[in-house]
Amino acid sequence: MKPIRELRSEQELTECVALLRAAFATVAMEFGLTEESAPSNAAFTTLDNLRAHLQHGMLMYGMSDGASMVGCVAIKQSKSDQLVFYIERLAVLPEHRHQGTGGQLLTFAMDTIRQCGGRTASIGVMDTNERLKEWYRSKGFAQHDCRRIPHLPFKVCFMSRELGGLPHTDS
């Protein structure tokens, strides 16, 4: 497994912004998202935007392969239910996809949530992104809601997974 660490320095956060923009650009292109139609999409992340999320309780982690960051994932505790954590901004550079990197980041996020006392991991994905929804289903997530969010040009599918107390072992 490649090393994963919490991102805190300006250099790490700047590298993470570049990674998010590159990784989510493929999704934005595939689904016709633009900065005007979906400004909150990770494909259009800025350093200021990422800093704002971190100031509001999001924890950002990066995975490196040598000196380069190849993937990242964020977690944030729900304000309404302290046992629920959101997994956000799970991203892998296109050239590092289909090598288990995303699964390793997801496993890391779920283990971190367990260590923080969380019992449920929740995610939101574009409802039309069937390939991504199927990937999360293969990791034990189930859809529990689907709705339109006013500032987004698509429906969001909400999926969750109960974590239990033992670390997750598949990748």
Per-residue pLDDT tens over the stretch 40-59: 999 999 999 999 999 999 99
Tell me which amino acid residue 169 is: T
Residue 142: band (very low, low, confident or very high) from pLDDT cuts 50, 70, 90? very high
Q: What is the pTM of this model?
A: 0.92
Q: Tell me the domains of the chain and their CATH numbers.
A: 4-162 (3.40.630.30)
